[in-house]
Amino acid sequence: MNKQSYDAIVVGAGPNGLAAAITLQQQGIQVLLLEGKDTIGGGLRSKALTLPGFVHDVCSAIHPLAAGSPFFRTLPLADFGLKFLQPEVAAAHPFDDGTAAVLHRSLDDTAKGLGIDEHKYHQLMDPVVKDWPALAPALLGPLAIPKHPGVMARFGLKALLPASTLAARFRGKTARGLFAGMAAHAIQPLTNLTTAAIGMVLLANGHLEGWPAPQGGSQAIANALAAYFESIGGEIRTGTYVRSLNDLPPARAILLDITPKQLLDIAGDKIKGFYKYQLEHYRYGMGVFKIDWALNSPIPFTNELCRKAGTLHLGNTLEEITANEHLTSKGQHPDKPFVLLAQQSIFDHSRAPEGKHTAWAYCHVPHGSTVDMTTHIENQVERFAPGFRDLILDRHTMNTRQMEDYNPNYIGGDINGGILDITQLYTRPAIRLSPYSTPAKGIYVCSSATPPGGGVHGMCGYHAAKKALKDIFKIY
């Protein structure tokens, strides 16, 4: 590798690596961004995985957190080609009786659809939506003394609960199921503490920002971030897989968009002592098994509103989702797994040839599982959309091993960069005054293995870069 020196080097061009690189470069720090793959993006890549003309999101697909990210919103990404599209219905959760819980952009419309739980939904979500501008900086960053302690306390009293406990406060199956599906994005048992927070945050962002997808595929987010970074003087090199920190050009700061396992692999004797011990005992969570389909027509969901939804949560009742997520966490493969499904082509016609459609789905599986879950996932879709299988023109699948091959950060298929339970919520990847710094001077971690964790929001990279700017460059 060219040994030209830089002020800072960022390793990994996923959303957090890009955010870190941009934050540094904005302050006049000369940054080199390295990416091991031939294309940037990490979890933001889009490809023709099935048939010609069908564009699939390889990992992330729907982006409420990206649309509402406090950092991304400061950037002129629309000037670099990024356009978010909104489905007619943000998300839907069908039940076996043909009814469905529906997340609308309007909080009132969502609450009205929950029948006997309309008032309880308002009680739960009105404060979160109202307080989100004050909550976001605290929830999307490292543990710190809150600037709005009253607001945080009001949120935290409910957010600390297991999702199963909070959802059970609703009287009807519709509201219970809606909340369970949202909270299941946590990729852990719904009986775990703090899983309620995931459901509340995703619902609030749905009301504030919708649940959009970028026109043309998730790659559009990465491309816009990269184009902006280069426009302010940043340099990107792809196809440069870093196997040792000793191979990097000289730099005052190195920021790593990687998780503890890779850090231990490439850092050598730079990482030692209690910090090394903590990284060695860092816990990864459940993995995912993913399918992309090329379809002859839209998915024929029984419920009409489900046909208009960008995202579907397929798992039926709170009780069924809770039970199956628990089984998965214990190393089993339920016959009826909770399935997250996106149908981007119903509101983004650039994703498929005229008259055809795409769909994207995954279920949670035990860490490192190589079990083929195709039949189980398709059975769940068919359950709520009879005739679905007849529409399949082609499919592409990825088990946890293939997910990790695609992105080394997905250890064992864990797309969150480590389990986001209460013991690793703010102490990821290790217990330190700053979760982004390491004991080695000038070396920082900026991946989803730092707060606030997984999701396309760039906040891990932003906060890591701010720490480096303060420590090394005496800025901020």
Pairing of strands 287-295, 392-398: antiparallel
- Looking at 374, 406, 438, which one is the last position of a domain? 406
Contact 198, 231 (CB under 8 A): no
pLDDT in tens, the chain (476 residues): 556 789 999 999 999 999 999 999 999 999 999 999 999 999 999 999 999 999 999 999 999 999 999 999 999 999 999 999 999 999 999 999 999 999 999 999 999 999 999 999 999 999 999 999 999 988 999 988 788 899 999 999 999 999 999 999 999 999 999 999 999 999 999 999 999 999 999 999 999 999 999 999 999 999 999 999 999 999 999 999 999 999 999 999 999 999 999 999 999 889 999 999 999 999 999 999 999 999 999 999 999 999 999 999 999 999 999 999 999 999 999 999 999 999 999 999 999 999 999 999 999 999 999 999 999 999 999 999 999 999 999 999 999 999 999 999 999 999 999 999 999 988 999 999 999 999 999 999 999 999 999 999 999 999 999 999 999 999 97
pLDDT at 222: 98
The answer to whether residue 437 is domain-embedded is yes
pLDDT at 374: 98
319 and 220 both lie in a single domain: no
150 and 110 both lie in a single domain: yes
Cα–Cα distance, 476 to 467 (Å, whole number): 9
pLDDT at 268: 87
399 and 443 both lie in a single domain: no
395 and 290 both lie in a single domain: yes
375 and 242 both lie in a single domain: no
Cα–Cα distance, 162 to 401 (Å, whole number): 30
245 and 196 both lie in a single domain: no
pLDDT at 476: 76
179 and 294 both lie in a single domain: yes
Closest CA to 335 of 319, 323, 353, 351: 323
SS3 state at 33: strand
Q: What is the pTM of this model?
A: 0.96
Structural domains in the chain (count): 2
195 and 256 both lie in a single domain: no
- Residue 233: count of CB within 10 angstroms of its CB: 12
Instruction: Give the CATH number for residue 115.
Output: 3.90.660
Beta bridge partners of 437: 444
Cα–Cα distance, 470 to 476 (Å, whole number): 5
The answer to whether residue 116 is domain-embedded is yes
The answer to whether residue 277 is domain-embedded is yes
Q: Distance of CA 250 to CAs 2, 19, 245, 442, Å?
A: 10, 21, 10, 11
Specify the amino acid at residue 439.
P
312 and 359 both lie in a single domain: yes
204 and 234 both lie in a single domain: no
101 and 78 both lie in a single domain: no
Contact 186, 364 (CB under 8 A): no
- Write out the residue range of the structural domain in which residue 386 sits: 84-211+286-406
**DSSP letters of 272-337?**
-HHHHHHHHT-----EEEEEEEEESS----SSGGGGGEEEEEE--SHHHHHHHHHHHHTT---SS-
Closest CA to 259 of 418, 378, 396: 418
229 and 263 both lie in a single domain: yes
SS3 state at 461: helix
